[in-house]
């Protein structure tokens, strides 16, 4: 006979345990925690002052002539480096001469696979797409990296 009421007793114990846990947690929300030695300072919200002026962007784009200098310094293999804007937008353009060896090929690959993008990003621009590369003569390439001013992070 006792085994008939065992599942009922177990279910009741479970309901009581869940209810007790819920009631304890609910009470914990309003009960202050014991001090751990840390000091918490809270200030009332300022309601009288007007909203502050927006902070000026801290990552302003670098002037085009400086971008050109940075690209030339980082990638001396490039020729005719320019930063200009036209009907297609703004871009860093250059000519890549024929390769002179393995090191040249390594640097060219690094530049095309993200190095140039990281460089212009440090100057306050971003590349919305890949570097466009057109062969203008045998092993002579013209590149165009479209750039737009980077947006400051939204806080």
Q: Say what the pLDDT of residue 43 is.
A: 47
Give the integer Cα–Cα distance in Å for 33 and 136. 73
| CA-atom Rg of the chain in angstroms | 32
Mean pLDDT in each 10-residue stretch from start to end of the chain (155 residues)?
52 47 47 49 48 49 92 96 89 95 94 94 93 94 94 61
Q: Say what the pLDDT of residue 134 is.
A: 96
Q: Say what the pLDDT of residue 4 is.
A: 57
* Closest C-alpha among 116, 133, 134 to residue 125: 116
Kindly state the tokens that stand for 126: 């971003």
User: pTM score, two decimals?
Assistant: 0.58
The 3-state secondary structure of 43-105, one letter per residue: CCCCCCCCCCCCCCCCCCCCCHHHHHHHHHHHCCCCEEEEEEEECCEEEEEEEECCCCCHHHH
Give the integer Cα–Cα distance in Å for 92 and 122. 14
Q: Say what the pLDDT of residue 24 is.
A: 47
């Amino acid at each position: 006979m006792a085994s008939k009421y065992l599942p009922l007793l177990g279910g009741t114990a479970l309901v009581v345990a869940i209810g007790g846990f819920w009631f304890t947690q609910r009470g914990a929300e309003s009960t202050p925690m014991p001090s751990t030695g840390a000091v918490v300072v809270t200030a009332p919200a300022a309601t009288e002052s007007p909203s502050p002026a927006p902070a000026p962007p801290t990552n302003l784009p670098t002037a085009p002539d400086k971008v050109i200098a940075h690209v030339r310094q980082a990638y001396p293999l490039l020729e005719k480096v320019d930063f200009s804007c036209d009907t297609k937008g703004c871009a860093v353009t250059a000519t890549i001469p024929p390769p002179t060896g393995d090191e040249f090929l390594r640097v060219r690959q690094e530049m095309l696979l993200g190095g140039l993008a990281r460089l212009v990003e440090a100057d306050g621009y971003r590349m919305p797409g890949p570097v466009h590369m057109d062969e203008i003569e045998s092993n002579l390439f013209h590149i165009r990296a479209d750039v737009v001013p980077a947006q400051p992070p939204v806080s």
